[in-house]
Chains A and B, each alone.
Chain A
Amino acid sequence: GKKQYDRDFLLDFQFMPACI
């Protein structure tokens, strides 16, 4: 299926470090 993401899901990644 199509990869659809809602706004809040996308925003959750804004300040996530690139490497953990």
Chain B
Amino acid sequence: EHITKHPLQNRWALWFFKNDKSKTWQDNLRLVTKFDTVEDFWALYSHIQLASKLTSGCDYSLFKDGIEPMWEDNWNKHGGRWLITLAKQQRRTELDRFWLETLLCLIGEMFCDYSDDVCGAVINIRAKGDKIAIWTREAENRDGVIHIGRVYKEHLGLSSKVVIGYQAHADTATKSGSLMKSRFIV
């Protein structure tokens, strides 16, 4: 019996970054694999470490095929990110759930007409606090950015009291953390 897999709208690439200070940033970034069906997504997800089990300094990135997980990529350079910053104790309680919900939002194209604005998502495992972000293509596209932020926040199950911010990569690249201003909040 022939069983047809369920195709995704996009082919996605999973990247893994492991911080090795003896190598360049780009050498530390490795493409793990690409997939374009629901079934192949789960095969990959169940095969790799949960984000909460990674060591500090590691990242996973999931980007549309053809977009590299860096600001400099042509698809990213005018864009920005909806950033979720987690407190240390949330690694144990919420990190893996938030990351899975993020992945499902991406592969399911859950941002309706604005899904084309999405480039990918990144999770950073860091001792001082983990971060998850959805990257979009155009920081000036207000309607798209706001819609994506609202839908994302809803999928994470964040209360209306929690505020998340959108930062343009151009600002992130030039300003230090304390000066970082959010272009939008939801």
**Chain A residues near B (Cβ < 8 Å):** 2-7, 9-11, 13-14, 16, 18-20
- Using a CB–CB cutoff of 8 Å, the interface residues on chain B facing chain A are 1, 3, 6-9, 38-39, 41-43, 45-46, 101, 104, 107-110, 112, 115, 155
Beta-carbon nearest neighbor of A7 in chain B: B104
Question: Is chain B's interface secondary structure helix, strand, loop, or mixed overall?
Answer: helix
Pick from B7, B43, B104, B109: contact of A18, CB under 8 Å? B43
For residue B104, which residues in chain A have a CB less than 8 angstroms away from its CB?
Answer: 7, 10-11
For the residues of A in contact with B, the DSSP-based class is loop
A5 to B115, CA, bound (A): 12
28 A-B residue pairs with Cβ-Cβ distance under 8 Å, sorted by A, are A2-B9, A2-B109, A3-B9, A3-B109, A4-B9, A4-B108, A4-B109, A4-B110, A4-B112, A4-B115, A5-B6, A5-B8, A6-B108, A6-B110, A7-B101, A7-B110, A7-B155, A9-B108, A10-B104, A10-B107, A10-B108, A13-B6, A13-B38, A13-B39, A14-B46, A16-B39, A18-B39, A19-B3
> Nearest-CB distance from B117 to chain A (Å)?
13
| Of listed A6, A7, A11, residue having the most chain B CB within 10 A | A7
The reply to whether B101 and A5 contact each other, CB–CB distance below 8 Å, is no
Once bound together, how far apart are the Cα atoms of A14 and B3, in whole Å?
16
